[in-house]
Amino acid sequence: MRKRIKQGDDVLLLNETQSYLVRAQKKSLNIDGGIIHLEELIGKPYGSEVVTHKGRLFVAVEPNTIDLLKKRMRRMPQIIHPKELSLIVGFTGLSRKARVVEAGTGSGYATLFLARHCSNGKVFSYEKRREFYENVKRNLDELGVKNVVLKNRDILEGIDEKGLDLVLLDMKGAERAVPIAHKALKPGGFLVVYSPYIEQVKAVVKEIGGLNFSQTTTMECILRHWDVREHTLPKRSGILHTGFLTLARKVSK
């Protein structure tokens, strides 16, 4: 039985060329293709067809994490992108019950992604800049995320949580937080550091080398889109480099 849309639920209106993230409420969506009265979504099952007054057809689907990140969150600083986040989840084998600490909350993009993935776990996020902290707090409240604990604090002052599955560092001078992360991780837990440039990678790897970590690896995060047709070529946007991920696994206490 398909889940039904309730008042206040997020709904993605989707067709072959357009998508709109809306709320099921007493408002109207006015687009080039016509008007949709959003209160009429209430009670319909997700997957139902919706037609504007001009006959433009949409399907009302339940938005996924990426839909919400792209269309609902207010961004401030640079984010960790979905390609990096998917690599983090894939290479660490992060479970739904995982307990995660991140430092450098920024816009909260990684925060929401990890919170949605670790739906039976918890994310503890440290952000020292008050304006970023307040922005993320608004974003998470707007999206109704309950399994995140935000802290307006510098992680270099210490991590309160222990026995963690993952510590993610996305911050300037991340190498200084490596020993702090090591203490907070459980044996077998992962440290992941996102670095925008190679000099920070070298500093992080040097710090990791002096601690009880294993399986240390660094990867460059590259994405290349292709235009698939009769004469298939890479898209002109080229190879998109955003940064480096360094992963290491704690061996023991």
Gap between the Cα atoms of 144 and 134, Å rounded: 15
Statement: 66-250 belongs to CATH 3.40.190.10: no
Tokens matching residue 77 = 């600083």
Using CA atoms of 240, 103, 132, 222 in order, give the dihedral in degrees to the nearest 10: 0
Antiparallel, parallel or unpaired: β 233-250 and 213-227: antiparallel
Say what the pLDDT of residue 83 is: 87
Provide the residue type at 84 as one letter. E
Say what the pLDDT of residue 140 is: 87
CB-CB neighbours of 90 under 10 Å: 9
Span 212-221, mean pLDDT?
94
Share of the chain above pLDDT 90, in %: 68
Provide the residue type at 86 as one letter. S
Tokens matching residue 145 = 């995320």
Q: In whole angstroms, how far apart are CA 142 and each of 6, 14, 60, 123, 146?
A: 16, 22, 20, 17, 11
Note whether 49 and 58 are within 8 A (CB): yes
CB-CB neighbours of 106 under 10 Å: 22
Span 48-62, mean pLDDT?
92
Residue 253: which pLDDT band, with cuts at 50, 70 and 90? low
- In this predicted structure, which of 47-61, 64-78, 219-233 has the lowest mean pLDDT? 64-78
Residue 81: which pLDDT band, with cuts at 50, 70 and 90? confident
For the chain, first and last CA: distance in Å?
48
What is this structure's pTM? 0.85
Instruction: Please state the domain extents for the chain.
Output: 10-63, 66-250
Residue 223: which pLDDT band, with cuts at 50, 70 and 90? confident
Residue count (the chain): 253
Span 153-180, mean pLDDT?
96
CATH fold for the domain made of 10-63: Vcp-like ATPase; Chain A, domain 2 (3.10.330)
- In this predicted structure, which of 128-132, 139-143, 198-202 has the lowest mean pLDDT? 139-143
pLDDT at 100 over 90: yes
Span 170-179, mean pLDDT?
96
Say what the pLDDT of residue 75 is: 67
Instruction: Tell whether the torsion through CA atoms of 153, 159, 165 and 170 is positive or negative.
Output: positive
Q: Which are the contacts of 16, defined by CB distance < 8 A and separation ≥ 6? A: none
Enumerate the β-bridge partners of residue 164: 185
Asked if domains 10-63 and 66-250 share a fold, the reply is no
Residue 77: which pLDDT band, with cuts at 50, 70 and 90? low
